[in-house]
Amino acid sequence: MTLFAVTRLPREILFGKGQRHALPAIAARHGRHAFICTDERFAATSQFAEILAALKAASIDTLVHDRTLPDVPRDSVAVCVAQAKDFKPDMVIGIGGGSCLDMAKCAALLLSRGGRLQDYYGEFKVPGPILPVIAVPTTAGTGSEVTPVAVISDSERTLKVGISSPYLIAAVALCDPELTMTCPPSLTAITGADALTHAIEAFTAMRREADSALPQQHVFVGKSALTDHFALLAIRLLGRSLEKAFRDGADEVARADVMMGALAAGCAFGTAGTAAAHAVQYPVGALTHTPHGLGVATMLPYVMNYNLPAATAEIAQVGAALGLARADGTAEQVARATIDEVARLFGSIGITPTLAELGLPEDKVDWTAEQALGIDRLIKNNPRRFDIAGMRRLVKAAYDGDMAASAF
């Protein structure tokens, strides 16, 4: 196989303690009118008041939408966009968790291109450039600050929907780990586990032959040397610091590691894509209304176990990046120890270990499997093939918490 790689990223990625203070200078390069998408929590903080004052001092007019809701309900985007129509913004600044960043991307899209959000569901439906987005995350998890994706919930559809387009990539990702210091342990755990799942699914995704058409038709194109680089960085940082940040939210070094881990994981999966753990989370999330990060992390060890025969070497490399002492065993033994370590790490930060405990009704196991198998772009990206019987067995194994049953 010859080298083949694709990567799509923001023009500028800034990371470090206090980087939020650069926002006025960055915004001034994009114009004088900034529409800010955030939520009620962040809008009430002194940090937000300082940001607004600094933008004002730099002669930047702001209009604030502070009603972003978790998981971005479709109709809330229309309300947000209506608020900004007369303001004629030059840029959209998203500040908050992944939901606020996705809201900012959707607002920039509709303000630039008009139409309805549902016109853009799927891949490559955005016809051209949109207003520049400056993404300022306050959670360390989704990687939305660098990805070409916005995820929303649509009450007319059972599963969440995505808009995937290179035009959705933020112009600037501004990552300041100080903004994550207020995350309570459960949010740190769920978002951090989301990031680790992104990194591991991106690293174990399908690797494809060089193909000039593929990146023009698909946003997620599988793993490559470039995405591997980011995925392994993410796994190393999250492996060494996620538990620390969960136990002591005031640990600045751990907070910075976890936020850089989430950023690097976003750089990896934004092109490589994710796979079966994400496919199963879509129907599970729809039925249980549990956070995205919790659902994907609950599934991950079972999916890794299912994938083991097809991705033994990659899973063993994940173990090395997680800092597992080099076992003298075979690649398969190291890979098995890696899966145990991921399950242990998730257990130690309170990730729900089974789909039953996540609240999935037992009589929905088969429906979940059917829905997951239908998410073609993620299933095609999984290193081991699925048929419906295999997917049912995997979902049932994760429902029962029967790790051995996920290896077949």
> Residue number with the shortest CB distance to ligand NAD?
97
Place of tokens 């730099």: 58
Question: What is the C-alpha to C-alpha distance for residues 270 and 150, in angstroms, rounded to an integer?
Answer: 11
Among 65, 292, 377, 392, binds ligand NAD (CB under 6 A): 292
Place of tokens 């939520």: 39
**80-109: which residues touch ligand NAD (CB under 6 A)?**
96-100, 102
- DSSP letter for each residue of 366-400: HHHHHHHHT-HHHHTTSSS---HHHHHHHHHHHHH
Contact call for residue 117 and ligand NAD (CB under 6 A): no
Instruction: Between 139 and 406, name the residue whose CB sits nearer to ligand NAD.
Output: 139
Contact call for residue 19 and ligand NAD (CB under 6 A): no
Question: What is the C-alpha to C-alpha distance for residues 316 and 64, in angstroms, rounded to an integer?
Answer: 47
Contact call for residue 252 and ligand NAD (CB under 6 A): no
Min dist CB 359 to ligand NAD, Å, is: 18
**237, 260 contact by CB (below 8 A):** yes
Instruction: Between 158 and 330, name the residue whose CB sits nearer to ligand NAD.
Output: 158
Binding mask 188-227 for ligand NAD (x = CB under 6 A): ---x------------------------------------
Question: What is the C-alpha to C-alpha distance for residues 39 and 70, in angstroms, rounded to an integer?
Answer: 9
H/E stretch holding 151: strand 149-152
Contact call for residue 149 and ligand NAD (CB under 6 A): yes
Strands 161-164 and 149-152: antiparallel
Question: What is the C-alpha to C-alpha distance for residues 165 and 320, in angstroms, rounded to an integer?
Answer: 33
State whether the Cα torsion 125-295-392-214 is positive or negative: positive
Contact call for residue 187 and ligand NAD (CB under 6 A): yes
* Residue ranges in 153-224 assigned as alpha helix (H): 185-203, 214-217
Min dist CB 255 to ligand NAD, Å, is: 10
Among 141, 222, 249, 353, binds ligand NAD (CB under 6 A): 141
Instruction: Between 88 and 247, name the residue whose CB sits nearer to ligand NAD.
Output: 247
Stretch that binds ligand NAD, among 117-125, 146-154, 378-386, 390-398 (CB under 6 A): 146-154
| Strand ranges inside 157-316, DSSP E | 161-164, 172-175
Min dist CB 144 to ligand NAD, Å, is: 3
Contact call for residue 319 and ligand NAD (CB under 6 A): no
Among 20, 27, 30, 39, binds ligand NAD (CB under 6 A): 39
The pair of structure tokens assigned to 199 is: 């990194």
Question: What is the C-alpha to C-alpha distance for residues 38 and 68, in angstroms, rounded to an integer?
Answer: 6
Among 147, 227, 317, 406, binds ligand NAD (CB under 6 A): 147
The letter for the amino acid at 142 is: T
Instruction: Between 197 and 317, name the residue whose CB sits nearer to ligand NAD.
Output: 197
**320, 339 contact by CB (below 8 A):** no
Among 70, 73, 122, 166, binds ligand NAD (CB under 6 A): 70
The pair of structure tokens assigned to 212 is: 């000039």
Min dist CB 191 to ligand NAD, Å, is: 5
Contact call for residue 271 and ligand NAD (CB under 6 A): no
Backbone angles phi, psi at 374, to 5 degrees: -80, -10
Instruction: Between 20 and 30, name the residue whose CB sits nearer to ligand NAD.
Output: 20
Instruction: Between 188 and 317, name the residue whose CB sits nearer to ligand NAD.
Output: 188
**40-69: which residues touch ligand NAD (CB under 6 A)?**
41
Q: Is residue 143 helix, strand or coil? A: coil
In the 8-state DSSP scheme, what is residue 64? E
Instruction: Between 375 and 397, name the residue whose CB sits nearer to ligand NAD.
Output: 375
| Strand ranges inside 206-288, DSSP E | none
List residues near ligand NAD by CB under 6 A.
Answer: 39, 41, 70-72, 96-100, 102, 138-139, 141-144, 147, 149-151, 179-180, 182-183, 187, 191, 292-293
